[in-house]
């Protein structure tokens, strides 16, 4: 079983965005030493609690600060951008750090309608163009634009002998189809939508078509994990993530609260029920419990790689969580 990291660069209350971004670099260095296979950073806009607005820049900083681990995007929000520009950006990264760059693509609008229009310079760009954009991006990456096509003669530079690994992120069978018909890797967002895992993964494998970049299906899954030496400690760590998820969904706050703040908060019955539902998106417990549950999911869905996301208040405890998981899985 391979382990990777998905990092949203969450900002804990009381710290700055700059401090959160530096912690992302530190966590990448730490998990590399632990043997994690890849480290992906997210893209979010117009939110004070998730600091990674430009994954391309953060990827470059992390690549420069590490030696072996693959680094990529989870993911670039392609509907807001030009396929040519995205291809050039990741070719540039590949030219500096050959064989270590992943390009994960997301279909998300990146925020509300006003935020999206600001990203697209007030141009209405339909999300339905995503699959077409993925195809164009592949043609720029792999130099397969045919004579007679509108972009014939346009080349994504710089030239690189190899290209970044290409992945499409998805939450349902729709995202799985985008990945399958375009012959990319597929990353399923279990940490957001676990109920669609069966259908999405099945559709991806059944509909996959080989491409220039990928000859057979390649799958990984993102999941919230919080690990500690005891169940009691893991449950206490999870309190900050519980409340964070609740507040993000309510549009109240996107910074991660402290454990003390959570303990002093009076939750309504409705909030308690929502927290209980959100726990279906998580694995929380001791190393043995976490490993057992990861193995169950791996066997159920035929997954051999998990991208672990841990959004808790205490950074040192977050690092320890990643260490305990790695030690148990690689025992």
In a domain, 271, yes or no: no
| CA proximity to 261, closest of 280, 242, 276 | 242
| CA proximity to 221, closest of 306, 136, 132, 94 | 306
In a domain, 226, yes or no: yes
The count of C-alpha atoms lying within 13 angstroms of the C-alpha of 29, restricted to the half-sphere facing its C-beta, is 11
**What is the per-residue pLDDT for 111?**
78
Write the pLDDT tens digit of every residue in 247-269: 999 988 999 999 999 999 999 99
Separation between Cα atoms, residue 320 and residue 180, nearest integer Å:
36
**What is the per-residue pLDDT for 112?**
84
Which CATH number goes with the domain that contains 143?
3.20.20.30
In a domain, 257, yes or no: no
In a domain, 264, yes or no: no
Separation between Cα atoms, residue 216 and residue 218, nearest integer Å:
7
In a domain, 218, yes or no: yes
In a domain, 267, yes or no: no
**pTM of the predicted model, to two decimals?**
0.96
Domain region containing 172: 2-230+282-329
CB-CB contact of 116 with 80 (8 Å): yes
What's the pLDDT band for 137 if we cut at 50, 70, 90? very high
In a domain, 190, yes or no: yes
């Amino acid at each position: 079983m391979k382990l990777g990291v998905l990092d949203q660069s969450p900002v804990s209350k009381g710290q700055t965005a700059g401090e959160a971004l530096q912690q992302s670099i530190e966590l990448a260095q730490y998990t590399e030493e632990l043997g994690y296979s890849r480290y992906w950073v997210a893209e979010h806009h117009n939110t004070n609690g998730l600091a990674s607005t430009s994954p391309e820049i953060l990827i470059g900083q992390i690549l420069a600060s590490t030696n072996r681990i693959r680094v990529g995007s989870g993911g670039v929000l392609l509907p807001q951008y030009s396929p040519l520009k995205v291809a050039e950006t990741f070719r540039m990264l590949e030219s500096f750090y050959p064989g270590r760059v992943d390009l994960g693509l997301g279909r998300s609008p990146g925020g509300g309608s006003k935020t999206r229009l600001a990203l697209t310079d007030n141009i209405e760009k339909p999300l339905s163009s995503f699959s077409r954009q993925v195809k164009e991006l592949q043609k720029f990456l792999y130099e397969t634009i045919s004579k007679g096509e509108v972009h014939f003669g346009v080349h994504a530079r710089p030239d690189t002998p190899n290209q970044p690994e290409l992945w499409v992120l998805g939450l349902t069978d729709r995202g799985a189809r985008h990945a399958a018909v375009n012959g990319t890797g597929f990353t399923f967002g279990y940490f957001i939508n676990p109920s669609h895992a069966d259908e999405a993964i099945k559709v991806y494998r059944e509909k996959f078509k080989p491409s220039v970049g990928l000859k057979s299906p390649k799958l990984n899954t993102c999941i919230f994990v919080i690990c500690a030496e005891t169940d009691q400690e893991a449950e206490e760590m999870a309190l900050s993530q519980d409340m964070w998820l609740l507040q993000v969904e309510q549009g109240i706050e996107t910074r991660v609260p402290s454990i003390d703040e959570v303990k002093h908060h009076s939750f309504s019955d409705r909030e308690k029920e929502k927290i209980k539902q959100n726990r279906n998106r998580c694995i929380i417990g001791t190393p043995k419990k976490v490993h057992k549950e990861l193995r169950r999911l791996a066997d159920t869905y035929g997954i051999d790689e998990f991208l672990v996301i841990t959004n808790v208040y205490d950074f040192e405890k977050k690092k320890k969580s990643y260490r305990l998981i790695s030690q148990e899985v690689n025992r």
